Every structure is written in structure tokens, then in C-alpha cells.
């Protein structure tokens, strides 16, 4: 797309009127780049960084807490069988404390019930 374009009346009508119309098109992206370059303090990209240890968990919304819990479960259970992940979710929803070791032991009992009792 051109950055500048002139539009004039039809040349056959030029003898009736000498009016020339001008229309300029500018790039929004170019404007933002110029603004950022000339006034970086005002027009810079803003990124908020928060230290996870500084977060007050009591002030987080239930939606954010659910997302955080889901993320942590997925990280902790990466590569584990889906049944084990589902068992972890059930126990967490029931308010139980869950460890990977307990889940692995429970998984072994499900797979090999005779070996786990020996």
C-alpha cells in the first residue's frame, strides 16, 4: 500500500474546475515506530513482571487459583499415566494432600495388586 497518493478530478473536467484533491494514507505501524523512537518512556511496550513469591494467594480470584493449580498439576504429572493424573485431581478436589510417591504406589497397586502386598 502506498504511503502517499494524489487523487485529482477527471482530466476531461479540468477545464471546468481547477480543483485538485489530495488524499494521504499513512501506516499506523510506522507511526507507532516513530512515537516509540522519539518518546520511548511514554510509548514503550509495557510488561509487568511479578515475583511468584511476592503474590498473596488469599487475594487471587478462584479462576486464577484454578489455572495455577492446573498448571502445577500438569508440570508435576508430566509423563505420568492419565489414570494417575485423574487420581491426583480427584484427591485434590476432595481436599486431600497428594504426593507423587503416593500416586505411584497407588498406581502399582492397581496394576499389580499381588506384588504390592508382598
Task: State which residues of the chain have pLDDT below 70.
Answer: 1-23, 113-118
Q: Is the pTM of this model over 0.75?
A: no
Are 107 and 81 within 8 A, CB to CB? yes
Q: What is the pLDDT of residue 63?
A: 92
Amino acid at each position: 500500500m502506498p504511503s502517499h497518493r494524489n487523487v485529482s478530478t477527471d482530466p476531461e473536467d479540468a477545464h471546468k474546475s481547477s480543483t485538485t484533491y489530495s488524499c494521504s494514507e499513512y501506516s499506523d505501524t510506522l507511526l507507532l515506530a516513530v512515537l516509540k523512537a522519539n518518546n520511548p518512556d511514554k510509548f514503550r511496550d509495557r510488561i509487568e513482571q511479578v515475583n511468584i513469591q511476592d503474590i498473596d494467594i488469599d487475594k487471587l480470584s478462584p479462576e486464577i487459583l484454578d489455572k495455577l493449580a492446573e498448571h502445577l498439576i500438569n508440570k508435576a504429572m508430566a509423563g505420568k499415566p492419565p489414570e494417575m493424573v485423574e487420581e491426583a485431581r480427584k484427591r485434590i478436589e476432595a481436599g486431600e494432600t497428594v504426593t507423587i510417591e503416593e500416586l505411584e504406589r497407588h498406581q502399582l497397586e492397581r496394576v499389580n495388586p499381588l506384588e504390592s502386598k508382598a
